[in-house]
A and B are shown apart, each in its own frame.
Chain A
Amino acid sequence: MGKYLSIAGISIKNSLVYRASVTGRVVFYFVFIFVFFSLWSMIYSGNEIAGYSLVQMIWYVCMTELVVFCSGSEIFGRMNHEVKSGEIAYRLLRPWNYIFMQFADMLGSMAFSASVFTVMAVLLGFVFAGPIQGFNPASVPLIVISFVLSITMNFFICMSLGLLAFYFEENSPFYFIYQKLLFVFGMLLPIEFLPIWTQGILRYLPFSLITWGPARMVVNFSYEYAFEIIPMQAAWCVFSVLLAMFVFSRGVRKVNVHGG
């Protein structure tokens, strides 16, 4: 455990070096929220749409974007690069579990930006929308758990997709498709906007659970909802870790075959 902590520590420091990249992303986050604020303000006129008020809708986008900006999706590119360039072979020589090493590294590099983005998200929510009516501070711990699970499962899914580079010359389409599924099934629009029959399926799939899951918990909290969503997220988390381990161990064997 100690070595993973120290990896995370080093990554925190390194992440501070990339001032421009954090600043750039913060600005982009702001602009994104701004565009959606503009869009929703234009659309709403004191009404509710699909059960969401304007205030809830803006907070919703702030929250789903928070997940997306914090989720360390660049792990896909990194895996892809390490497999294709063969760098992964060197990493294997080190005395650690490769997958968890990467996870520790992501947590470390994320720590700084995640705190910045969380502050940003809350701040922009208040500036653009104001407080959410009926928000219960007691719900915060469950919301945090839900966010952590979201980010974790997204990380391991992206990692698995990146590791598909072991098997495919071109693995980016998988990543694209995954990103788009996140996008259409919860990131920009709550799934309540979609036809009823799709909602029944979507609430059990990872795409909506990553974005819609925690965001809806923020804007419209209820214990029944939290106790339905969090176990589902936890289950997908376990699945995604196992998936990453499976793809990795099978892939590494392939490297050895090619290497000979």
Chain B
Amino acid sequence: MFTEVKTHLKLILKYFTFNLSALTEYRTSFLVQVFGMALNNASFAFFWWVLFDRLGTGIGGYGFTDVMFLWAVASTGFGLSHVFFANANRISGMIITGELDTYLLQPKNPLINSISARMSVTAWGDVIYGIVLMALIKASGMMWVMFGISIFTAALLITSIAVAGHSLTFYFGNMEAVGRTLWEFTITFSIYPETIFKGPVKALIMTAVPIGFITHVPLRLVRNFSWGTLLLLFGVTLAYALFAFILYMKGLRKYESGNLIVTRM
């Protein structure tokens, strides 16, 4: 078990350095894309700035800095997820086209192997943007500490949610749109104040699809730290990662290697 984990961590690192060297082959396009992503995120900051400025008060107990902290964690967490596991969001495509074959021929866990094989260029923009944003809002020491911790739990949660969503393709045929939609929800919900969500929605993002643990719980920890909540954050993250992993591996048995054809009669 332990050596398994070690082997696969090594593999992830290997892919990371491999893909990084590929990026340097295209330095201009790398920089341009990073810039594009940072700009994308900045436009949201603009939205919030205009809104808070116009209202002159907080929103549901959140100030501008709080929302920007949500943004910083979401951005860097998402970025890390796509720097290390860019293929997580392509799982459905890999299943449908049979691209997964290549990874199934290799002596590694096909999930880890396939999702870490690619790196998203633009994701570096997200990683950097979150850090820059933290600096711009003059984040407190506690915010920096929680940022340092939660970008990793966020990255793992975002990846796991994508894996879980796309794994449904094994079971029900092409679920690419569902996987992508789920992933977009993940981002959408994690960048708005927790307090605007109520009732069943709040229950949902705190349980079955633990989007609330990506940014909201870390912000709670910033405002009101407790060891219990921190442990809960770690526990939920690991449990969900395990859940996604099992869902994928069980689904893999149904894999049909590009033979999911629609025939006309």
Residues of A within 8 A of B (CB): 17-18, 20-21, 23-25, 27-28, 31-32, 34-35, 38-39, 41-43, 49-50, 169-170, 172-173, 176-177, 179-180, 183-184, 188-189, 193-194
Contacts and interface: CB of A to CB of B under 8 A. Distances in A.
Given A42-B59, A42-B196, A172 B176 contact: no
A23 B196 CA distance: 25
Contact of A42 (B189, B195, B262): B195
Interface stretch (B33-41, B150-158, B215-223, B248-256): B33-41
B29 A169 contact: yes
Contacts of A17: 262
A173 B177 contact: no
B29 to A, nearest CB: 4
Contact of A39 (B37, B59, B180): B59
Contacts of B178: 20, 23-24
B176 A20 contact: yes
B51 to A, nearest CB: 7
Nearest to A21: B177
B134 interface: no
A169 B28 CA distance: 9
Given A20-B174, A170-B28, A189-B50, 16 more contacts: A20-B175, A20-B177, A23-B178, A25-B177, A25-B181, A28-B184, A34-B201, A35-B189, A39-B59, A42-B193, A43-B51, A170-B33, A173-B39, A176-B37, A176-B40, A180-B39
A162 to B, nearest CB: 15
Interface in B172-212: 174-178, 180-181, 184-185, 188-189, 192-193, 195-198, 201
B224 interface: no
A62 to B, nearest CB: 16
Nearest to A169: B29
Nearest to B37: A176
B133 to A, nearest CB: 16
B181 A183 contact: no
10 contacts: A20-B176, A31-B185, A35-B192, A42-B193, A43-B59, A172-B122, A176-B40, A179-B40, A183-B43, A188-B47
B54 A24 contact: no
Chain A interface mostly helix, strand, loop or mixed?
helix
A42 B51 contact: no
B39 A176 contact: yes
Contacts of A189: 47, 50-51
A177 B36 contact: yes
Given A24-B181, A38-B197, A188-B47, A49 B55 contact: yes
B32 interface: yes
A20 B173 CA distance: 10
B227 interface: no
Nearest to B31: A170
A77 to B, nearest CB: 13
A39 B196 contact: yes
Given A20-B174, A188-B47, A28 B185 contact: yes
Contacts of A173: 32-33, 35-36, 39
Interface string B111-153: 0000000000010000000000000000000000000000000
Contacts of B196: 35, 38-39, 41-42
Among A18, A49, A176, A189, chain B packs the most CB atoms within 10 A around the CB of A176
Interface in B15-71: 26, 28-29, 32-33, 35-37, 39-40, 42-44, 46-47, 50-51, 54-55, 59-60
B120 to A, nearest CB: 12
A63 to B, nearest CB: 17
Nearest to B169: A20
Given A28-B185, A38-B198, A39-B59, A172 B36 contact: yes
Contacts of B37: 176
A38 B59 CA distance: 11
Nearest to A177: B39
Nearest to A32: B188
Among A41, A43, A179, chain B packs the most CB atoms within 10 A around the CB of A43
A188 to B, nearest CB: 5
Nearest to B184: A28
Contacts of A188: 47
A23 B188 CA distance: 18
Contacts of A28: 181, 184-185
Given A24-B181, A176-B37, A176-B39, A31 B32 contact: no
